[in-house]
Amino acid sequence: MSTKKKKRTSRRRASSGTRKHKPFKTRLWRAFLLLLGFGLGLLAPWIAWLDHVVTSEFEGRKWDLPSRVYARPLSLYPGLELSAEALEAELEAAAYRRQASVSTPGSWTVSGSTYTLFRRSFEFEDGSQPALRVSVDMADGEVRGVRGPSGKLDLVRLDPAEIASIFPLHDEDRSLVSVESAPPLLITGLQAVEDRHFKNHPGVHWRGLLRAVAVNLKAGKTVQGGSTLTQQLVKNYYLSDERTLIRKLNEAFMALLLELHYDKAEILEAYLNEIYLGQQGRHGIHGFARASEFYFGQPLEALSEDRLALLVGMVRGASLYNPRRSPQRALERRNLVLDIFGSTGLLSAQQVSVAKARPLGVTARPTTGRSRYPAFIDLVRRQLRRDYREQDLRNEGLRIFTTLAPSDQKAAEAAVIEGMSALQSRGLPASLQSAVVLADVASGEVRALVGDRSPARAGFNRALDARRQVGSVIKPLVYLLALEHEQDYNLLTTVLDEPISLRQADGSTWSPDNYDDRSLGPIALIDALVQSRNQATVRVGMNIGVQSLISRLQQLGVEAPLPAVPSTLLGAVELTPLEVTQLYQSIAAGGYAVRLRAVTSVMHPDGDTLNRYPLRLVPEHRREAVALLNYALTQVVERGTARELPALLGSVKTIAGKTGTTNERRDSWFVGYTRDRVAVTWVGNDDNSPAGVTGGNAAMRLWAGLFRRLRLKSVDLDMPEGAYWTWVEMERNALSDPDCDGAVQMPFIDGTEPQQPSPCLQRLDRGNQRSIWRKWFD
């Protein structure tokens, strides 16, 4: 082979080798471009999806806010009848804290008979109320004077106690705060501790993130986080807590996208309201505003530097630094945050030193969120459901103002707890249950309600749902109907307490007995009621008509089926304690009925009043007849079946009341009222078995235990127009005179008084007798 040919061969080989190398590089580059394109093809939809999630949820963000339920606000003014114990109960319920000096809203102290308290600010339906330091002078069970910084005040309204929350289904509890209204130290301090580059980074602080990665790789586990405030918000708002690379990538990209679309103020405000800061039962505490109320019982704007530092420190771990469970660890974390506040110039060295010397200052237990009065809140929710959907109650952040008086509720709960224990010690069954309803006579506002012998226990609410026969507590309505027929009946009308047999629809015969198995024969109508005579009551009721009683019960709000049978006249009708309270409210109010209510108004979070529940008085009875019945019921307490009540009360005030006992002593009832309060107590077994109880040996004792703790005002026995007081001799049903032996004053509807003078009156030979003593209270 020639040299030339060899050279050509070498060139061909070289050329051939070059051609083989170029296709390999091309394929590698093409593979890279393909993978890059494929990656970008996948990344673009992924980023687009993340962007959609970020913008759609953040722009339309609307936190589901629980509804807040408040007790009635206590108004203090000179002349208000209020004991020192009741005032302290009201302050305790509203989470006021007793301190040596009153320097912050929500605190109080007492010196002698003068209470000094710092009222919190509060937004009422009639406007905003600022914080105010006031002094209240107390003496002899009443407020003698109220003073503020500028002198005497006519009235001071305290912020109401928060008694419950109605939570969203996801069980997050929060109150909202804006960036503008948040304490400046919270805004700057949060950034100093958690994200010093917040104002400048685009959502992710790359150097901090890389530093955290390096530390974690060196440690072999996650020991340091590099998350910005924006990333923390993304994690809380959008993502789960799982620690995976995919979640961390999602967090970083979503943080970048969030900062791309929204300004720093919007992001920071969302963070302030979203961050998790604790747990109450199954409800998570979210946001600084709610955490302030949860841990300190104060609004966020009222917190001092040390308390703000504690909340900021808890961002790193709400459970780890829980000040109630781990106070020492929380104290150390708080002091570390205070040092950061000092090193960054947010606080001076002296401010840091003073703040670190303070205790944590958290309340012993949360005063928010939980339903402290489950039976009453049950009534509130039932009344609200007439106007609101359950979803609205759970999600709209409504502010619900109720009628509950915390001091009255405390008295009712104590009466039940102590009273039921006392009944057991007297030999009654330990299985007994009880219920109490206390209402204002004039307004029908429910002041206290207990549905279980253990008042804090939620579940079966006997005050609303224990439908039991009411026994003799129905009798006053029978006699009221009779007295409205004044041409036939007055308090001295003779009625027969004799055996009576009535044929029933099924052909059987019903023959009621008296509780003592005796019949007294002819008896005055008032004595038939005072002594609770069954046979006399049935005779009066049959003359009036069973249907008349049923119609009156329905008129007063009873919705349950009512049997049109004679035994209804003796209380063989099943009512709840709340329904019985409704019946007697109209009697105690002199014939004016008002629907019992637990809610006064509902406000939207923006301040608009959505609903008011005004007072509506409706005349349901003839007032003259009610006035006579009121007197008769005071006689039940003075000399009838409730005659032991004054001794139990330790008071000589004039009280009206009625006992009730059902067959085989299954149920014990007592209904009583003063000038301004009406209350019903019930005692019995849940299974309706015989319990050995009577109206006097059980329920009346609970009623007495309640009213021993309340101020007592005698029943108003002034006669309305058309009725008057006169002196009579009861045995002869004759007119008499105060100078005659056995003469008593008794009310009559004009024209129904006795016409014949007694022998004593005749002897006195008063020529113009009627002009002297008639119309005693004209």
Task: Give the number of C-alpha atoms closer than 13 A to the C-alpha of residue 579, restricted to the C-beta side.
Answer: 23
Distances (CA, A) of 130 to 74, 87, 105, 337, 758: 16, 21, 10, 31, 68
Catalytic residue among 90, 162, 172, 194: 194
DSSP letters, 243-304, are --HHHHHHHHHHHHHHHHHS-HHHHHHHHHHH-EEEEETTEEEESHHHHHHHHHSS-GGG--
Q: How many other β-carbons are positioned within 10 Å of the β-carbon of residue 82? A: 19
3-state secondary structure of 105: coil
Rounded distance between C-alpha atoms, residue 579 and residue 467, angstroms: 9
Q: Which two tokens stand for residue 729?
A: 């001799």
Among 174, 397, 172, which Cα is nearest to 281's? 172
3-state secondary structure of 578: helix
Q: Are 728 and 734 in contact (CB under 8 A)?
A: yes
Rounded distance between C-alpha atoms, residue 757 and residue 744, angstroms: 14
Q: Which two tokens stand for residue 337?
A: 């945050």
Between helix 349-356 and helix 305-314 the angle, nearest 10°, is: 80
Q: Are 161 and 171 in contact (CB under 8 A)?
A: no
Note if 729 is an active site residue.
Answer: no
Q: Which two tokens stand for residue 731?
A: 């045995």
Pairing of strands 107-111, 97-98: parallel
Q: Which two tokens stand for residue 650?
A: 């330790």
Q: How many other β-carbons are positioned within 10 Å of the β-carbon of residue 167? A: 22
Q: Judging by beta carbons within 10 Å of its beta carbon (0-12, 13-18, 19+), is residue 169 exposed, middle or buried?
A: exposed
Return the amino acid letter for 392.
Answer: D
Catalytic residue among 292, 472, 532, 668: 472
For 400-417, b where at least 16 C-beta lie within 10 A, e where not — what string?
Answer: bbbbbbbbbbbbbbebbb
3-state secondary structure of 438: strand
Residue 428 dihedral angles phi and psi, to the nearest 5°: -80, 160
Note if 101 is an active site residue.
Answer: no
> Quick one: how far is CA 137 from the chain centroid?
29
Return the amino acid letter for 369.
Answer: G
Which residues are marked as active site?
Answer: 194, 472
